[in-house]
Amino acid sequence: MQSIDADVAIIGAGPAGLQSAIHAARRKVKTVVIGRPDQGALVKAQIENYFGIPRIKGQKIVSIGLEQAKKAGAKIYEEDVLKAEKVGDKFVLHTDHETEFTAKAVILALGISRMRLNAEGEKEFLGRGVSYCAACDANFFKGKKVAVVGNDSMAAISTVLLTNVASDVYWVTKEPTVAPPLLEKVIATKAQVVKAAWPKKIEGDQRVRKIMLDDGRVLDVDAVFIELGAKGSADLALELGIIPDPNGLISVNAKMEAEVPGIYAAGDVTGRPWQLARAVGQGCIAGTNAANFVLYGAGEPE
């Protein structure tokens, strides 16, 4: 396992995360960004309402932002954070590449999780076998047959978790995009990996009974756990002792501070409007104040 010490660790490589990195690193504190810049919502967007830039592709902004963050001195790690914890007066982050980051301050900038599958039957069976959180609902399906849908780290983590509870676990994936150590953990379990397939329809009566795949296969299951993407900011906040609101949003003050000293949040996870301008502005504030926290502690300047 690789261990990396930092002053400020930013989870998320979107506009809020990268702007945080630019401002933190420019204050000469050791700054790391942990995230997958190619998977954010901005990458696929066409931006036409950002001040001073009439029209630009989101992918271009992310690319420029990455270079700016690196030039400022931040280090970028294209990994997914699987677990976060507070140990003493520091924060420890564990990733899918078996890297352990230790930091004095953390900025949560991963945006909103719980992405939808948009398959037929998904909405109808929500709460009746369809779930977006294996960690929350696994115990309801002890001894049952379940399917996990997704390609990334959260799907892999959920698959491993469910093998300790369910009788049969299927991981439905177009193609796993997880780090080799995490994939090996899945393979070492009793889970069945169903590759090159994707859900077309979820069927049942009063609850989920089966999932139909786009290659014609049908899986008889009691539950479908939809886990698309990496672990979200709200999930990590819970691990750090922060309670998100019922919508999964994190409450912050004007300095972008969360309720636990040393933790900041910026971007979509703090609420609407979900706009680039807001994310960038909050990233500036969060990065500056996280760096001040490292430099001055409780006596940071106003």
Domain boundaries, the chain: 2-113+231-299, 130-226
The confidence band for 56, taking pLDDT boundaries of 50, 70 and 90, is: very high
Q: What is the mean pLDDT of residues 286-291?
A: 98
Same fold, 2-113+231-299 and 130-226: yes
Question: Which of 47-56, 86-95, 97-106, 129-138 is the least confident region?
Answer: 129-138
pLDDT tens across 21-53, in order?
999 999 999 999 999 998 777 887 888 889 999
pLDDT at residue number 288: 97
- Could you give the CA distance from residue 127 to residue 144 in angstroms, rounded to a whole number? 16
pLDDT tens across 76-87, in order?
999 999 999 999
- The CATH architecture that domain 130-226 belongs to is 3-Layer(bba) Sandwich (3.50)
pLDDT at residue number 255: 96
- Could you give the CA distance from residue 199 to residue 172 in angstroms, rounded to a whole number? 8
Query: Any alpha helices (H) in the chain, and if so which ranges?
Result: 15-25, 58-72, 134-137, 153-162, 180-187, 233-239, 276-296
- The CATH architecture that domain 2-113+231-299 belongs to is 3-Layer(bba) Sandwich (3.50)
pLDDT tens across 183-233, in order?
999 999 999 999 999 999 999 999 999 999 999 999 999 999 998 876 777
- Could you give the CA distance from residue 175 to residue 161 in angstroms, rounded to a whole number? 20
- Residue 70 exposure: Cα atoms within 13 Å on the Cβ side: 8
Q: What is the mean pLDDT of residues 129-155?
A: 90
pLDDT at residue number 110: 87
pLDDT at residue number 19: 98
275: which residues sit within 8 A by CB, 6+ positions away? 49
- Could you give the CA distance from residue 117 to residue 214 in angstroms, rounded to a whole number? 13
Instruction: Please tell me the pTM assigned to this model.
Output: 0.79
Higher pLDDT pick, 112 / 57: 57
Q: What is the mean pLDDT of residues 127-156?
A: 90
Q: What is the mean pLDDT of residues 128-136?
A: 85
CB 28 within 8 Å of CB 112: no
pLDDT at residue number 302: 59
Average pLDDT, the chain: 92
Complete DSSP assignment for 64-126? HHHHHHHHHT-EEE---EEEEEEETTEEEEEETTSEEEEESEEEE-----------BTTTTTB
pLDDT at residue number 298: 62
Phi-psi region of 153 (alpha: psi -120 to 50; beta: other; left: phi over 0): alpha
201: which residues sit within 8 A by CB, 6+ positions away? 119, 120, 121, 211, 212
pLDDT at residue number 31: 98
CB 32 within 8 Å of CB 103: yes
138: which residues sit within 8 A by CB, 6+ positions away? 161, 162, 165, 166
pLDDT at residue number 68: 98
pLDDT at residue number 232: 75
> Shortest CA distance to 9 belongs to which of 279, 211, 262?
262
Please state, as a whole number, how many other Cβ atoms lie within 10 Å of the Cβ of residue 274. Answer: 14
Residue 283 has pLDDT above 80, yes or no: yes
